[in-house]
Amino acid sequence: MTFRPWRAAAVLAPAALTAVALATPAAAAASPSWQLTDQYTASPACFTTAGGTEYLELNLNGTWSTPLTFGASGLPAGGSYSDMILDENLTNDVWSTGTPPIPPGWSNGTGPLAVGPETIAEAYPVTTIPAGLKAGSTLTITFWASDGTTKQTESVPIVIKSSCARRY
């Protein structure tokens, strides 16, 4: 029997095409160039048994070219949140309240969001927890951010104490 290269190619080509198709994810499955950073697992948010409202910061790492919506879910009964963005004009060091969504920009995951020439921002799902939760109890809420295509989430553990020390 003689070896015919075209016959081997005809037999192996469908297998090669299948292998390439399986190894190459669809473009729609590409991961975004930004991520929510996990800042609360190592240092849970604290609320007192009296409840209250806290500005819990949302941190991002990477770049995003479209505005990002954000928020919180999984709050206990009686809990709520509202989105807030604080903008700082670095030229004259003036802070102002911006409106969601988060404008296109970038961040290193640990600080303000660079969202324009001479402008930084901070994003907060301002979270309210009701009074009456037992000291020593814990709960977990979820922060989310979306670019309209991808929605990412971050678990935010919360501890209930009789007193919470400020972090700053």
> What pLDDT score was predicted for residue 30?
61
103 found inside a domain = yes
CATH of the domain at 77: 2.60.40
129 found inside a domain = yes
Spell out the residues 6+ positions from residue 39 whose beta carbon is closer than 8 angstroms to its own: 57, 59, 154
Q: Give how many domains the chain has, as a whole number.
A: 1
> What pLDDT score was predicted for residue 32?
82
Strand duo 119-129 + 52-55: pairing: antiparallel
136 found inside a domain = yes
Cα 86 from Cα 77, distance rounded (Å)? 28
Q: How many Cβ atoms from other residues are within 10 Å of residue 134's Cβ? A: 7
> What pLDDT score was predicted for residue 4?
40
Q: Which helix (H) or strand (E) holds 3?
A: none
CA distances from 21 to 18, 29, 102, 113, 120 (A): 5, 14, 36, 38, 42
6 found inside a domain = no
> What pLDDT score was predicted for residue 168?
52
144 found inside a domain = yes
> What pLDDT score was predicted for residue 33?
95
Spell out the residues 6+ positions from residue 143 whose beta carbon is closer than 8 angstroms to its own: 36, 56, 58, 70, 71, 72, 125, 153, 154, 156
Q: How many Cβ atoms from other residues are within 10 Å of residue 38's Cβ? A: 12
Q: Which helix (H) or strand (E) holds 152?
A: strand 151-161
Q: Which helix (H) or strand (E) holds 14?
A: helix 5-23
Ranges under pLDDT 50 in the chain:
1-28
> What pLDDT score was predicted for residue 45?
96
Range of the domain at 93: 34-161
19 found inside a domain = no
> What pLDDT score was predicted for residue 110?
87
> What pLDDT score was predicted for residue 22?
43
127 found inside a domain = yes
166 found inside a domain = no
